[in-house]
A = this chain, B = another copy of it.
């Protein structure tokens, strides 16, 4: 998508074997590119959320494997790189999906052939992600267009966290349908959940919607229920970091609360996802998905701009008070109206997913 009129992806290789990414910890305050040269650079970029968003985490990990193979293409290095990268974030399943795909592609090759093949495979994963997200956008935009035909007015979409192009290689998942609808001339307005504690909504989603010219309003995470009670939300669209075979959805903490409010108020709750977020091995998301606990300072401290434009981090919690930071929650499938995938839209059921992905779901 475009920033100041220039098209960007979130990650791209350099000609000298490294990879560059947009440093998302500095957005929306600064647009800066970070160069990743070593496996450890890549692992740190994922765990510190320089890059984040399930699809982009997978793509970045794939490039981490390529960088590792350039330094040492041995079997031992291949396994070590897979293991190191897999430990960076525990919840998103795309990470494992991308790492397993890279290892399966590289392990049978002679070590001398691995570096080049790894770069090719990582590039393929990125290109496929772009195509998949654009297809999600095409399918999802029909839901927005349909609502617009019903009401004749602006379609108000509530989203949580950032499942936009910054969470993927391009287009996004939850925001792709919004970009497609907007570009097609359908009037759409987005309620952007701030998304505490890391504020990905207020910083990243607001930033990218603003850069693309999509009408939006930032709200506290507490507000969505009130808006839905008063008929001011036409639909919710969110992303997912892991989706079970029956359609339970693990996404950024707080998603579950919005799904409950949508269900209570008759508001459709759609989840947009590439097939790589589906974990076919599990059924019950609440019981089976490990929920990452992150450092409490993400909640107790907040970074922003001072009046002079410089950045500062302030402590906002009462001194000495403990804090806990759970990063994800699980929305049970019965609260999800539909799953929007690159192959089309289906109900959030085992049958629905199996119908779209018969090879895996059958």
Contacts and interface: CB of A to CB of B under 8 A. Distances in A.
A300 interface: yes
Interface stretch (A139-147, A269-277, A310-318): A310-318
Nearest to A316: B304
B303 A314 contact: yes
Interface size range of chain A in the complex: 35 or more
A304 B311 CA distance: 13
Given A312-B314, A314-B305, A254 B199 contact: no
Instruction: State the number of copies, please.
Output: 2
Most buried by B among A219, A224, A320, A330: A219
A319 interface: yes
A229 interface: yes
A326 B223 CA distance: 7
Interface stretch (A51-59, A72-80, A119-127, A257-265): A257-265
Given A260-B225, A314-B312, A219 B254 contact: no
Contacts of A225: 254, 256-257, 260, 329
A5 interface: no
Nearest to A291: B226
A362 interface: no
Contact of A196 (B222, B253, B320): B222
Given A223-B253, A264-B260, A304-B315, A194 B196 contact: yes
A203 to B, nearest CB: 6
A210 to B, nearest CB: 5
Contacts of A219: 299, 323-326
A361 B222 CA distance: 32
A12 interface: no
Given A28-B318, A194-B299, A199-B316, 12 more contacts: A194-B196, A202-B318, A203-B318, A206-B318, A217-B322, A219-B324, A226-B329, A226-B330, A230-B286, A257-B258, A305-B314, A311-B314
Can you list the 10 inter-chain pairs with the closest CB atoms, starting with the nearest? A222-B254, A304-B314, A28-B318, A206-B321, A206-B318, A226-B329, A207-B318, A304-B316, A218-B323, A196-B220
